[in-house]
Structure 1
């Protein structure tokens, strides 16, 4: 074969067959080889991809993460008046392309549209949002306004306060969003009820199935979480009344509700007074009937006075006393 022979010189069916065997990152690099090859790829190569694609939004940058077949990251960031696009090659050496007098959001959008086309799926696997300073929230808001609605299965908020999350959450399409992760410690003055209501009253919150909620100063309101399928909460403290409320209002949709406290739970005696003697010890366990459900019961396990796990279990095989349900 001549060294001057290009992939585009092969018959179209052979070129297509070769391209379909490549991972998405390789296809994106091939698009930059020549105009003819780029045009051929855009017109002919689109497939359902098993690759995991994630977006990472951090104030003045956007990063696209490909997780298979091997990790690859492409980062777009603004440096003065220029957009820098950086990535690592197969030898992990950093490569870059500089777009003079270009906005990084515009360059990202061009690449992102191509990625979605060749990814074969319009819904991302995960979007991560990180805010390290309050002033960067306005930049992220402008960025998302320009991008428009993002379709993703999961969104992770890191080091964001309720006001920031409330402004950003509506940019995610509620029809596709399955899991919301709030991962970070709110500051003491951040735990305002009206700002939390902006989150809990949003369509995204109401339609999601799973939530992981971590906060230091805010005391979660149990009723805001009862519509989910699975819940995991990490916080400083929670009133024992909320534990009783959860037991009495365990809805038909909920399968698991986990609460992990940073400090030991001080009202264990109140739980024992309300629920009676545990059916099992180490950990303490109780079983409760579910109205109009003979096949399942609710199991509550309390571990080390700081870990509460409510979950549905099959009635068959569950060891419990009739006095405790």
Structure 2
């Protein structure tokens, strides 16, 4: 009788796993418990194939959780229709009813299983959290993962994105994008006090948090970003001056209440008017090849403060370059 997979020595099983792709390993897990335990054993993590996903979309709606894993060979869908103590799980077109289970626990466990095969850093992960009743339990279970998710860009569409930010690997994260559930013209309140203390926030290079009100007392936590885009109720000339002296590259601030160009002129002198509604001031920086431009833009009754480093040759001839 030919030996079965279960009876093979561990060295032989390791060699087999090295030749399998991600989907084949998932299939092999369902053959029997011994194979599943062998594949799931942390000792064998290094020999598992890389799923090589570039993007993951996580959607949490009323009574529904959906994952979309996207790679160069297409997408894999996992959908969970949730009812009390049960759910219907659909893997691509295959459907299965699960009874007497915690549906959120099942969904996150499956996600964790798929992410276990992700060795390379993903380009993007999107969390679209629309059901606040499921959000807390979903994020608590995600935080139990042994390995943080390795991704360059994190996009969170949620009213409270803090817990989601903490589950990604801070060492590889480059960009944080946060949005309320629905884009609105009105500012959305958010407590930034915990988010700005995370390693993810401190290590990220870019931030886009438009539509959330950013607190003035946290302005110092924007200056390490190479690009930041936030909304603030109002900002003083002194606070703008602080950003001028500390920003790394580009900070854009949209204000609910205008800042007066006249007040800025009293601080820095006359502006260089680039447009009917735009006033510019230019400053030298420590980098001799670049300058800092501050733009007060009064269009549409909103104010956009842009702090950017530019090459000196691109400024208007009549602009005065100010010293810090």
Identify unmatched segments of 5+ residues in structure 2: 1-12
Which residue number corresponds to residue 140 of structure 1?
A: 138
1:158 alignment partner in structure 2: 157
Q: Secondary structure at the match of 1:73?
A: strand
Aligned equivalent of 1:73: 77
Q: Give the aligned CA root-mean-square deviation in angstroms.
A: 4.3
Provide the rounded CA distance (Å) in 1 between the counterparts of 2:90 and 2:261. Answer: 54
The answer to whether the aligner puts 1:64 opposite 2:67 as a matched pair is yes
Query: Which one has the bigger strand percentage?
Result: 2
C-alpha change, 1:120 and 1:147, in structure 2 (3 Å) is closer
For the pair 1:288 / 2:283, whether they are aligned, the reply is: yes
Match of 2:260 in 1: 267
The residue aligned with 2:86 is: 82
| Counterpart residue number, 1:298 | 292
Alpha carbons of 1:120 and 1:174: their partners in 2 closer, same or farther (altered >3 Å)?
Answer: closer
1: CA distance, partners of 2:227 / 2:309: 11
In the alignment, the residues of structure 2 paired with residue 181 and residue 242 of structure 1 have an alpha-carbon distance, to the nearest angstrom, of 27
Are residue 222 (structure 1) and residue 225 (structure 2) matched? no
CA distance in 2, matches of 1:48, 1:185: 33
SS in structure 2 opposite 1:286?
strand
Q: Does 1:179 align with 2:175?
A: yes
Task: Determine helix, strand or coil for the equivalent of 1:245.
Answer: helix
User: What residue is the counterpart of 1:92 in the other structure?
Assistant: none
Kept in 2, the 8 Å contact 1:151–1:176? The answer is: no
Measured against aligned partners, the alpha-carbon deviations of 1:36-75 in whole angstroms (never above 9, x if no partner) come to 9x88xx6999555553231526376543222344444312
Distance (Å, rounded) in 2 between the aligned partners of 1:242 and 1:182: 27
Count of equivalent residues:
295
Separation in 2, partners of 1:78, 1:125: 26
- Give ranges in structure 1 of 5+ residues lacking alignment: 1-11, 90-94
Query: Aligned to 1:197, what secondary structure does the other structure show?
Result: coil
Q: Deviations over 1:184-225 (max 9, x none)?
A: 289x9x858xx4322222222222222111345554442121
Q: Secondary structure at the match of 2:274?
A: coil
SS in 2 for 1:174: coil
CA change 1:17–1:131 in 2 (3 A) is closer
Shift of the alpha carbon at 1:288? Answer: 0.9
Q: CA deviation at 1:266?
A: 4.7
Alignment of 1:96 with 2:81, yes or no, is: no
Using a 3 Å threshold, how does the CA distance of structure 1 residues 152 and 126 change in structure 2: closer, same or farther?
Answer: farther
Q: Could you tell me the TM-score, scaled by structure 2's length?
A: 0.69
Q: What is the TM-score of this pair, normalised by structure 1? A: 0.69
Deviates more, 1:42-51 or 1:269-278: 42-51
Change (3 A) 1:124 1:294: closer
